[in-house]
Amino acid sequence: MRKQKPSFILMIPIALIAFVTFILILLPSENQQAHKIVDQFYSAEQEADFDSSWELLHSEMKNKFSKSAYMQDRVHTFMSHFGADTFTYSMTKPKKIKSWKMTKDAKPMEAYEVVVTKEYNGKYGHFNFVQYVYVSLDGEQPAILWDYKEKS
Please report the domains of the chain, with CATH numbers, ordered by start residue. Answer: 8-146 (3.10.450.100)
3-state helix, strand, coil in the chain (%, to 5): 40, 25, 35
- Work out the average pLDDT over 53-62: 94
Does the pTM of the predicted model rise above 0.75?
yes
Assign residue 73 a region: left if phi > 0, alpha if psi is -120 to 50, beta otherwise?
alpha
Q: How confident is the model at residue 64 (pLDDT cuts 50, 70, 90)?
A: very high
- Work out the average pLDDT over 92-111: 94
**Over 90: is that where the pLDDT of 58 sits?**
yes
